[in-house]
Amino acid sequence: MKKKISLILAFLMAASMLAGCKQTNEDSAGLPDVGGDTSSVSLTAMTVSESETETTTEETTTAPEETTTEDTTTESETETSATETTTAASSETTTAASTTAAKAWNETEISETLYIKTSCYSRTQAIVGSESVKKYDVGQKINIVAATDTGYYKLADGTFIHSDYVTDQAPAETSATTKATKKTESTEETTKKPVPASSINSSYTKSYTDRYPYQQLGKSEQQLYADIVEAATNFETQVEVPSSLSSDDIVKVYALVYNQEPQLFWLSNLVPISLGGMLNLQFDLTPEKAASAQKEIDATVSEVMSKVNGYTSTVSRLKVIYDWVITHNTFSLQGNYRTCGIYNGLTDGGELQCQGYAKTVLYLCDIAGIECMVVTGNNTAGSTHAWNVVYCDNGYYILDTTWGDPQTSYGRSSYIRYNFFLANDEMIKNTHLNVSTVARGNGKRIKLYNPPACTKSACYYFKAYNKEFSDLESATQAMYAELDSAIAAGKNVAHIRVTTKELWDALRDKTYWRAFQNYAKEKDSSVKELKLQTSLTEDILVVEYDIAYND
């Protein structure tokens, strides 16, 4: 009987595949030929790439270059873009003989008992992307009543499970004799059990349904998002793709999950897309290694939260997170799962790319109960970039931790900028470009979601901490005071904000520069010089002098 139903299913599937070939070719028009059943593309940082893999491809990312002189400073985070292909499974619409309602499949009645070989969900219909009904676990017995020409088995309750997920092999039986034998095994052997994936970060309770980006998606996109999150959480590799979604939609949803779910730090940046309408997820870590890393992450988070919870205002709590991420990490040339997520950010790795900064901030905000999201795009040099949008007190604000910690010749522990600490859209309009998009190799940009407007200014660092000035005399005295404070603490940055371009130009004039430098040198003989910071300061009207000390 088992051989018979297999033949029936094979025959029905063959007919269905032939009927769907034309549609498959139409769906992939304009995209490169994958030349096989599965294509894998890379999502390094927030850019889709097929050319960048950690173990086989030389990294081409360049470090942010920072010239702390009168010359314009350039910060460049170069990451790559490429392409990917997907085609949805297509089934010939037919009318089943057993019902008067139109169906997209034919059924052949059979009766057999099978077993689940891969955890999965039953579906309302025998087509890819239909609504999920009930979860089935590995080894669970199911009774089937029919086979369809779309590759599904029909269960007694009228729902469907894809044939890829079932087997006619019953799981090994557990008898009294087997149990007795197991008791005689060594302790070492009996403890070698797979780590329950869902328990790896069980203390992390943030729900994806509460996320702003998720809420901007359509119903089918939300279904795929939810299925990817659940599968990745449990290290399950296969996810069905709703048939209504295009290849751009799939890349969009996967990119959002990869960026907005920092707890899935083992999820690969590869976007594997099957021609059969299935995503075949890949993971950079085993459950055991992920569990080990999570212990370090939990210990670090506990330390950070003990400081965060010492404050009540959201501005202060965010400043603790911002300062901690900057002082414990530095920008990396390498783009991989360690540097593009919380693996390095919340362990002792210490090296991050912009995406790693943003996802580390997101994870800490999730724990702290602060609404946060990752936004991706480009900087003025055209390089990919990532930052955060957070909700603080009276509205949404920009939080760019990467640009608070650029690579410099100074000790990273003392170098913190606040130029983009709770900024607004107006302040970043000329520096953060292609907001909330991901690039494909064909030059097309995919819009991921529309971030909330950031229009407020009350929480911006320089306003919140009384470092914003509207007249030349007050601004001049404030800069002297900033130099006093920075030199006393051995820090490298002295900066204030002014309210007009005229004041910004005046305080950066060579006459003021020399006056400030002479003052600093007289204040402390260890001061070598002041370096005028010009990059990323004009639009936000920040006057910044970097302090260089004698070796």
Could you tell me what percent of the chain has a pLDDT over 90? 51
Tell me how far apart the alpha carbons of residues 382 and 385 are, in angstroms, rounded to a whole number: 9
Three-state DSSP state, 439: strand
Average pLDDT for 248-270? 95
Helical axes 287-308 vs 314-327, angle rounded to 10°? 130
Neighbours of 201 (CB within 10 A): 19
Q: pLDDT tens across 426-439, in order?
A: 999 999 999 999 88
Q: What is the pTM of this model?
A: 0.68
Could you tell me what percent of the chain has a pLDDT over 70? 74
CA distances from residue 474 to 466, 469, 507, 541 in whole angstroms, order as listed? 12, 6, 11, 15
Q: Strands of 299-380 (E only): list them.
A: 330-331, 351-352, 372-378
pLDDT in the model for residue 129: 73
pLDDT in the model for residue 44: 52
Q: pLDDT tens across 326-340, in order?
A: 989 888 878 888 999
Asked if residue 20 has pLDDT above 50, the reply is no
With beta carbons less than 8 A apart as the criterion, state whether 262 and 341 touch: yes
Three-state DSSP state, 372: strand
Average pLDDT for 52-57? 27
Tell me the pLDDT band of 69, cut-offs 50, 70 and 90.
Answer: very low
Length of the chain: 551
Helical axes 287-308 vs 354-368, angle rounded to 10°? 70
pLDDT in the model for residue 375: 98
Asked if residue 141 has pLDDT above 60, the reply is yes
pLDDT in the model for residue 348: 72
Largest CA distance in the chain: 95
Q: pLDDT tens across 384-412, in order?
A: 999 999 999 989 999 999 999 876 666 55
pLDDT in the model for residue 195: 62
Residue of higher predicted confidence among 290 and 172? 290
Query: In the chain, what are the domain boundaries?
Result: 31-88+187-465, 468-551
pLDDT in the model for residue 428: 94
Tell me how far apart the alpha carbons of residues 31 and 50 are, in angstroms, rounded to a whole number: 13
Q: What is the mean pLDDT of the chain?
A: 78
Q: Which CATH class is domain 468-551?
A: alpha beta
Q: pLDDT tens across 299-332, in order?
A: 999 999 999 999 999 999 999 999 999 989 888 8
Least confident span in 3-17, 184-198, 229-243, 471-485: 3-17
Tell me the pLDDT band of 498, cut-offs 50, 70 and 90.
Answer: very high
DSSP 8-state class, residue 433: B
